[in-house]
A and B are shown apart, each in its own frame.
Chain A
Amino acid sequence: MSKIREQLIQHEGQLPPGTPDTDHWIVYTQKKTEAPFKWAGSLNAPDTELAVQFAGEHYGLDEVCTSILTHHGSFAHDGPCGIEPLQPGDAVGDDGSSWCAFGLPRRGGNLTLVGTVNAPDVDTAIARATCQYANGKFVQFRVVPEEKIVISDGKGSLIWRLHDMTYKFARGYSKDVREKWTRIRDEEKYEDYRKEDIHKHF
């Protein structure tokens, strides 16, 4: 038995609790250079630098990713979430500091970076983001102080790798995979497995 298996047995029932000494960070990814940043998830990290690195490793390797945007969870300020798309309102203005505005296209959807607004405080930032970007397309806005946002574009620190990463892509059940499987299973069993696997995971 290898050491790894011995170790697992020794630690059965003694898994460490949670993630101590870390903070909550929110991550958005950009899949193509001109594409908007979209919410990808969140993570725990002890500081900004490791948060950016973890974000790249955690959310930047599922599919091709050109940039990662991260901010501490405490800097996210969400406006009210409507059932119907929000109307723009009339909160115009350009004073104050810069805030990044993220719009939620529908409940259960992914927040998307839509642009920036200037505002002196959170409430005004949300109102101005709604005024500027709602246009009947979003049900909620989030604003984050632009100075609290960290963007990694992969140039200083790599995100998507340079070696062949095509094995990461879910290409489904290609002809090659089918041929390999049917060498060891008959076609009918393979087809049952394929349907069940797709049903479970997609």
Chain B
Amino acid sequence: MESMLSNPLAVRILSHADDKLMLGHVQSDWTGLGPILEEDIASSAMAQDDLSHALTLYQYLGDRYDLDPDVIAFERSAENYFCCDLVTQSDEFDWAGSVVKRWLMATYMLIVIADLSKADDDSDLGARCDRILPEQELQVLHLQRWIIRLSNAGDEARERMQLALDRIAPLAGMVVEMPGHGPSPQESCLIRREEIFREWTAGLHETIKQAGLNATFSLPEQTQLGGRRSRHADHFKEQLVEMTEVRRVDPGASW
């Protein structure tokens, strides 16, 4: 585990997998509570996709570091999870908040997974990313459609979408925080931080314009520390305890 946690590329992959794991876990809370049956099914299926994407990245790391993917997913201490703060942020069962959060993350993940697929001369990693990408595109398309439709659906819907965006946008920039414990993040393979931020926000603004909404995203200072540097909020720790409950009750259980 230690050698994995000290390798910058492994930590970067781990941070993407952790994003997906927590996103899928948190979104699954909505199963049965979606605003309409069809969206309930669609968003639950996409939460399952997120969990499967996490699994395929954990499997990649597991193969390289001789670790069981379930051990990587469920048996790390909280400070060794590198998910960003946005994924674990509660939407308080506000659908607008859920849509905005997932849209921001889906758009970001599309860029970083595409980037990761080219990052290394590694056909296994490339193949895994290539399997994730079409599913990620599906999520982006689906959530963009919701953003635009809800924002044009009348005063109340529009107001709720704008409020959700106002609440979430200031936190969103932390998705490009450099992950890991290393003292010198500039040397890590996330050196394209600014470039990824620009590409990501340019895509966001296109949709925001179509939706007639307003949002400002800013790139946080590198001195600002959050989830990717193990400074997790309390709600993450609660979610982690809940998510790993079965694993702790019956370690090594399989189904």
A residues with a Cβ closer than 8 A to B are: 2-4, 7-8, 16, 19, 21-22, 43-47, 49-50, 53-54, 57-58, 61, 157-158, 161-164, 180
Contact = CB atoms under 8 A, between A and B. Distances in A.
Given A3-B90, A157-B138, A163 B33 contact: no
A47 B29 contact: no
Interface residues of B, number: 32
Contacts of B138: 157-158
Nearest to A51: B38
**Among the interface residues A2, A16, A57, which one has the most CB atoms of the partner chain B within 10 A?**
A57
Contacts of A44: 36-38
Which applies to chain B's interface (DSSP): helix, strand, loop or mixed? helix
B52 A54 contact: no
A53 B134 contact: no
Contact of B149 (A50, A61, A164): A50
B36 A49 contact: no
A19 B39 CA distance: 11
Nearest to A43: B38
A8 B29 CA distance: 10
Given A54-B39, A57-B38, A163-B52, A158 B90 contact: no
B42 interface: yes
Contacts of B49: 161, 163
A162 B141 contact: no
Contact of A54 (B29, B38, B93): B38
A7 B134 CA distance: 33
Interface in B140-162: 141-142, 145-146, 149, 153
24 contacts: A2-B29, A2-B242, A7-B33, A8-B33, A16-B35, A19-B36, A19-B37, A19-B38, A22-B36, A44-B36, A44-B37, A45-B38, A46-B149, A50-B149, A57-B38, A58-B41, A58-B42, A61-B45, A157-B141, A158-B135, A158-B137, A162-B134, A162-B135, A163-B132
B29 A3 contact: yes
Nearest to A5: B29
Interface string B39-80: 101100110010011011000000000000000000000000
A3 B35 CA distance: 18
Contacts of A47: 149
Given A7-B93, A50-B145, A163 B39 contact: no
A7 B153 CA distance: 26
B131 interface: yes
B42 A57 contact: yes
B125 to A, nearest CB: 15
Interface in B78-96: 90, 93
A180 B255 contact: yes
A163 B135 contact: yes
Contact of A163 (B53, B93, B142): B53
B157 to A, nearest CB: 10
Nearest to A54: B38
